[in-house]
Every structure is written in structure tokens, then in C-alpha cells.
Chain A
Amino acid sequence: MGRQWGPAMRAAEQAGCVVSASRAGLPEADSWSCSGVILSRSPGLVLCHGGIFTPFLRAGSGALTAAGAAFLPGDSCGDDLRLHVQWGPTAASPAGRAERGRPGLCTPQC
């Protein structure tokens, strides 16, 4: 992709993550998952799609269309909700650093 996409690609790669929601005590394979955006790293804040939370809503999905509902607090979902977020290497992680350092690699002459 052309140079115009450099900043967007870097932002996308740094911010992209995947979020999975599962029930406590059930195998991970029975989870729901979607993509997300890392808004802040430390402390960590992630924004993702709400669709994976409907199975956990205490009042069912009807709570989403209740009149005037613009937001629902976290405890609108049951206590058995388990969330995990996963993302690629970052500038801080050793693997990320190694990648950034690649130009430093050299091919010594034999």
C-alpha cells in the first residue's frame, strides 16, 4: 500500500485486538468473540462490539432497546461473564522491539 497509508496501518496494527466472552466454568470453545480497538494502553481501555454481551445480559437483549437506554453499567451482565483481550506485538514487547530493531541486523561476510 502507498505511503499515504503508513500512519493508518500503524494505527490499525497498534490498536487492533480481539475480544472473547465466555462463561465461567465452561470451555473457551463455547465463547463469543469480536474485534476491538485499544483506546489506551496503561491503564488498558478497549472499545469493542456489544453483540457478544447479549447472551450475558441479566434482563435479556430487550434491555438494549428499552426506551432511553443510552448506556448500561457493567453489572448489567451476569457474574459468570469472563472476558479476554488479545493483541499483536507492541513497541514495548520484546518481540515488537526485536522487529523494530531489524534494520540493525547485518549479514557479516563469511
Chain B
Amino acid sequence: AGLEPGPPARPRGRPLQPPRPAELLLLLSCPAFRAHFARLFGGEAAEQWHFASAAPDDEVSEDEEEDQLRALGWFALLSVRPGPEEEAEERGPAMAVAPLGAVPKGAPLLACGSPFGAFCPDIFLNTLSRGVLSNAAGPLLLTDARCLPGTEGGGVFAARPPGALVALVAAPLCWKAREWVGLTLLCAAAPLLRAARAALGRLHPGAAALAALLPPEMGAPWGMPLRDPGPPWAAAAAMVECGTVWGSGVAVAPRLVVTCRHVAPRKAARVLVRFTTPKSAMIWGRVVFATQETSPYDIAVVSLEEDLDGVPKPVPTEHFHEGEAVSVVGFGVFGQACGPSVTTGILSAVVQVDDTPVMLQTTCAVHGGSSGGPLFSTCSGDLLGIVASNTRDNNTGATYPHLNFSIPITVLQPALQKYSQTGDLGGFLELDRATEPVRVVWRLQRPLAEAPRSKL
């Protein structure tokens, strides 16, 4: 159906204010945002990234796309002539702004925008979407809250500090190598409003007075740390590099990291493991075990040459609860150009063979490079599994980030424990001896109801 505006309707029961005339005061951008954007998405990477509000296959002229890219990090400050109601309201800012860095990765965010802009405000004005802060590079932020074209400029608010404005939507849709990444690009509000204050001061004498109306940045209550440390479990994620291949991993013991076989396939190979929080650390290790190609469990185990100081070791879970809130932490999308990304969703399926969980599925956004990374219970921080892959449709070639597969930690835990305590790798050999029904599951095949009977 085409998108044609219908007659005004009041289905949400809230009469909108009539549109008010406004005047453009200035266009502004945040230099630090543009610098990080050029670093992460410019240069060689530019070919791969696409931010236009239309899908890569839609007809958008190159000029139009170039305009959109140039304007991506720009925002506009408007003055709006108040109506009688606004005259009655008290003066002054309507909200507070979270300082840059006050909201950590993994923290919940609420995006508020109007999909399709002014097309049908009765239906779409101030539509909400929830997610988390997935990644940050200076004032360039990413969230996995779903946003649509038309929400550019919409506000993104934090649960903590309560109701603080954190950012504005810069690009609702990001496409990498023609695939939707499922992350929305944001510009942090605090540096943007600082830029606005500076610009108003240089505009004309009357404009400087407007700077006092801009919402203030929140200070930290006395004695309280401003920076919320965020979920401690996220720090267990590591980037794993083996030769030219890189992926993600998770620390499961002081000298032990688990990743995927397709990240570190060769036994005895040297591997570099990087952690970014609480402090950046690089440690060499060796692959002590990697499953065979024929094993359904795509797993490799790396023994480090030194202890992991200060990196939390997550608690492996013993139970899985379909529907529970989960988080994936991995180095997909940006690799080492940025720290790990956090995306959230729910545990959408626990596939079992003979009452034993052998595969987990989630709705988190999982990208190439996230393989080997940890899947956590968002509430408890327990380690649920090791991310192995997302989904690709072999017919169309399309990739689906929000349907992905992890290996339950309960499959690995006995072998990990045995190796940590005795150095015996024997337990891991079981992973190469998985039964045929488990293989069928991981080949995404339908299990045969019963073995076909011979007709001889």
C-alpha cells in the first residue's frame, strides 16, 4: 500500500497542537562527531557503509545520497513563536542533559521520534523505541533501539540519570555491505548543545541570550561518581586475533579464553587477546584445543601466557529460560576501531536433543566479528553461551542479524572445569563426538522423525 496521508484522525486520543511557524536560527554540527564518523565510516570503509534513509536497492540519486551523507552529522536550532498556552508556561529549559560518558555501554535507552516525519503525526508522533547504548566513540553513539526514517533529530533519553537527554538520532538505518546492521547512529546531546551555545554567542548579540535557555548538563550529586560503570559482565568480552582473522571471545578463567574455531582454527597457533575494560590489556596465548571441522560445536580454547588481572570471570549458567532478556557483547561491526558493542534482545529458543540444550537462539543484533563472543543473561550477568553465527539466506544472500545461534555454556562447562583444574583436555574431545541429532540441529536441518526404512 502506498503511504498516502489519510484524513486527520485522533486514534491515540490526544489532540495535537496545531503546527507552529518557526525560524531557522542556525545549522550546527559537532566537530568531534564528524571526526569519529570519518574515522569509523570514512576512507576505505566508506564503500561498505550506507546511511541513506532508503534501502540500498531503492532508487536514490547519487546526488541525493551525497547530500544525505554530508548532512548526517548536522542539526538545526529553530526558534518557535509561542502560542497562548506556551506564554502561560514557565520559561526556561524543559529537560536536563546527560554529560558525555555518563551513560555506559549496555545502559538502557529510550528513543522518541516520529517515523516518516510530518507525514502522519496523529499516528506516529513521539513513537517510542527501547534499546541500549551499544557502542560509543566520543560523541558518536550507537543504539540497538529500532528507529525508522523520519526519526532523524528525535531525542534519546536515559533511564539513568532519569529522563536525561542523551543524544539525537543522526541516522536511523545503517547498512554495511548492503545489509541492515540493526543499529541506529546517534549524536550525543551534550557536545551538540555546547556547540550550539558557542555558535549562538557568535551569531548576533540578541542570539547570545538564547544560549541561557538551552538545557544544562547534569552535574553529579556530590560524592557520586558521574560515570555509571555499566554492567560488569560486559568486561569479560575480548577481541581475539589469529593471524589475519579476528573475532570475539570471552574470559572464563584467569588464563582461559573461549572463542570459535573459525576464529582460531589451528591448535598451538599463537593468538593475541585484547581486553578494553576495565583497562586496555593485550595478552598472547596459544590455542590448546579446537574442534574438528566436522563437529557441530564451533569452539576453540585459548590458554593465555599470563593472568587476566581485573577482568571479571562470568558465572556460567546451569539453566536457560526462553524469553529472558539477554545481551551479546562482541567486536562485530567495528573490530578494533571501537571497543565491543553490546546488543540486547531475548532468548528466543533453546533447542534440545534428549532433554539437553544444544543450541540457543536470540533476537540480539549479531554481526560478523561477533563470533566467539559471550551471550549473557542481562539480569543476572550469567554466561549463557558462545555466539557462533547469525543467519544467512543462501537463496537471497541476505543476512539476518537478529536471528543468531549460540553454543550453550552447559555443553562446554564440564570440559572447561576439568581443564582448569587438571590441565586435561580430554573433556573437549567429547565436542568432536556429538551425536547425529545434534549435528542435524546445527546443520539447520529438520530432524528425521525416524530413520528411513530399507525397502530391500
Contact A11 B80 (CB under 8 A): no
Point out the residue from A33, A34, A42 that lies within 8 Å of B86, measured CB to CB: A42
Q: Which of B29, B112, B189, B214 has the most CB of A within 10 A?
A: B112
Chain B: minimal CB distance from A75 (Å): 8
How many angstroms between the C-alpha atoms of A42 and B90 in the bound complex? 7
Point out the residue from A20, A39, A89 that lies within 8 Å of B94, measured CB to CB: A39
The secondary-structure label for the interface of chain B is mixed
Point out the residue from A1, A17, A70, A74 that lies within 8 Å of B31, measured CB to CB: A70
30 contacts between A and B (CB under 8 A): A11-B95, A15-B165, A17-B125, A18-B121, A18-B125, A34-B117, A35-B112, A35-B152, A37-B154, A37-B165, A40-B92, A42-B89, A44-B80, A45-B79, A46-B80, A47-B77, A50-B75, A55-B67, A64-B70, A65-B70, A71-B26, A72-B27, A73-B26, A76-B27, A84-B118, A86-B121, A89-B14, A90-B86, A93-B17, A94-B85
Contact B72 A92 (CB under 8 A): no
Point out the residue from B5, B118, B165 that lies within 8 Å of A19, measured CB to CB: B118
* Residue in B closest to A22 when the chains form the complex, CB atoms: B118
List which B85-119 residues lie within 8 A (CB) of chain A.
Answer: 85-95, 108, 110, 112-114, 116-119
Residues of B within 8 A of A (CB): 5, 14-29, 31, 66-68, 70-72, 74-82, 85-95, 108, 110, 112-114, 116-119, 121, 125-126, 128, 130, 150-155, 157-160, 162-165, 168-170, 189, 192-193, 195-196, 198-199, 202-203, 210, 213-215
Counting chain A residues whose Cβ lies within 8 A of the other chain, the interface size class is: 35 or more
Chain B: minimal CB distance from A68 (Å): 9
Point out the residue from B17, B18, B196, B213 that lies within 8 Å of A90, measured CB to CB: B17
Q: Which chain B residues lie closer than 8 Å to A14 at the CB level?
A: 94-95
Q: Which chain B residues lie closer than 8 Å to A87 at the CB level?
A: 16-17, 125
List which A1-47 residues lie within 8 A (CB) of chain B.
Answer: 1, 4-20, 29, 31-47
Q: Which chain A residues lie closer than 8 Å to B117 at the CB level?
A: 18-20, 32-35, 52
Residues of A within 8 A of B (CB): 1, 4-20, 29, 31-55, 61-62, 64-65, 69-74, 76-77, 81-95, 99
